Amino acid sequence: MLKLLQGVVDFHDNVLPKIQERFRELAEGQKPDALVVFCSDSRVAFNLFASTDPGEVFVLRNPGNLIPPCEKDLVPSAAAASIEIAVSLLNVRDVIICGHSRCGAMQALVDHEQDSPFLKEWVKHAHGARNYFSKINFEPDFTERDQLSQANVLLQMDHLLTYPKVKTLVESRQLQVHGWWFDIVTGNVFSYEEDLKKFQVIDQILFDKIQKRLFSK
């Protein structure tokens, strides 16, 4: 706890003076580029590996980066409200769902221990992940947990499309949905490439390919 408090003091004394103006601008309103959905795991440092600044991404964060499918009777959830804000009010153009290696929520899918009943119930939203194994050429040394984690990204991309507004915007190409995956061991970030049926490391070569794809639509 003291480390966090000291961090606040350091931010106030050393960082804030350099970026105070940016916060004054942000106080007038936010216009993030994308909605990003990633896991609560403390090691998934999205802002670090995507080099983002305050105001650039709207975040939905929960164990397992899950998006419960849309309920017809407007059952409130953090996911539904976040999607609504990002897509209907902030008009983001992209949604990124980002899974990660060694995910505890994915482990809960394969474990049989009963010490975490709430987590067990929550990860039911990832139960269909195995159905997506055929869409991914996994690395040979991948654990079952990491396979589930990548497949779960594709499942959650489909769950996102159960929200009518999202589906409409995607079909009219006003919104794009991307699947990413973060490897904690190497620090590499991957993008799901449908034509290759695999998650590919985002490097300059893949950046150029994705850029062409984005502008061809």
Q: Which residues bind Zn ion (CB under 5 A)?
A: 39, 41, 103, 105
CB of 105 to Zn ion, least distance (A): 5
CB of 39 to Zn ion, least distance (A): 3
HEC string for the chain: CHHHHHHHHHHHHHHHHHHHHHHHHHCCCCCCCEEEEECCCCCCCHHHHCCCCCCCEEEEECCCCCCCCCCCCCCCCHHHHHHHHHHHHCCCCEEEEEEECCCHHHHHHHCCCCCCHHHHHHHHHHHHHHHHHHHCCCCCCCCHHHHHHHHHHHHHHHHHCCCHHHHHHHHCCCCEEEEEEECCCCCCEEEEECCCCEEEECCHHHHHHHHHHHHHC
State how far the alpha carbon of 72 is from the alpha carbons of 76, 101, 125, 166, 199, in Å: 11, 33, 16, 15, 33
CB of 40 to Zn ion, least distance (A): 7
Is the CB of 39 or the CB of 92 nearer to Zn ion? Answer: 39
CB of 78 to Zn ion, least distance (A): 16
CB of 63 to Zn ion, least distance (A): 6
CB of 71 to Zn ion, least distance (A): 24
Is the CB of 170 or the CB of 181 nearer to Zn ion? Answer: 181
- By DSSP bridging, strand 176-182 and strand 189-193 are antiparallel
Is the CB of 175 or the CB of 179 nearer to Zn ion? Answer: 179
Is the CB of 79 or the CB of 175 nearer to Zn ion? Answer: 79
Is the CB of 34 or the CB of 44 nearer to Zn ion? Answer: 44
Is the CB of 105 or the CB of 170 nearer to Zn ion? Answer: 105
